[in-house]
Amino acid sequence: MHVERIFAVQRPIDEVFDYLADFTHTEEWDPGTVSTTRRSGDGGLGTTYDNVSEFLGRRVELVYSTVTHAAPRRVRFRGRQRWSTTLDDLALRDLGDGRTEIQYRADFSFGFPISLAAPFVVRPKLGDLADETVASLRRALER
């Protein structure tokens, strides 16, 4: 299952990319993130992060890695833990006049038995979470 949003911010594409490529910034813009620390790497391709998130009242620990780092157009992170995998994909487009369009897509896959309940428990919450994420990300980038 996935969620996707497209929105624009008043900030140049290079600055947006640099901010988003550092996954530790999720503490500032991802409403579900409790903490993110860099585990290894220099912030580029292959960098790994330890992330603690909260979703549906539960804390989840994931290890994220940067799987795409194509400045200044796209950055992609894969998060894994025992029961799930998440892929966060952020594609950027320069709109001119210091504005950047962000296409944010998050894909979630779950192992058994969570995969049986996910369509009924997780899917209904994803839209609200995506809207909160966009609002937080917009605030963080336009500060």
Query: Which residues have C-beta within 8 Å of that of residue 44, sequence separation ≥ 6?
Result: 21, 66, 69
Specify the CATH number for the domain of residue 67.
3.30.530.20
pLDDT of 117 reads 52
- Please give the pLDDT value at position 2: 85
pLDDT over threshold 90, residue 125: no
Is the per-residue pLDDT at 16 higher than 60? yes
> For position 96, what pLDDT does the model report?
97
Mean pLDDT over all residues of the chain? Answer: 90
What are the pLDDT digits (tens) for 78-104?
Answer: 999 988 899 999 999 999 999 999 999
Residue 122 binned pLDDT confidence (cut-offs 50, 70, 90): low
Q: pLDDT digits over 50-78, tens only?
A: 999 987 678 989 999 999 999 999 999 99
Higher pLDDT, 128 or 116: 128
Are the beta carbons of 25 and 34 closer than 8 angstroms?
no
pLDDT digits (tens, 9 = 90+) for 103-119: 999 998 866 655 555 55
Select the more confidently predicted residue: 125 or 20. Answer: 20
**C-alpha span between 86 and 110 (Å, rounded):** 9
User: Could you count the other beta carbons within 10 Å of the beta carbon of residue 133?
Assistant: 21
Range of the domain at 21: 2-141
Q: How many domains does the chain have?
A: 1
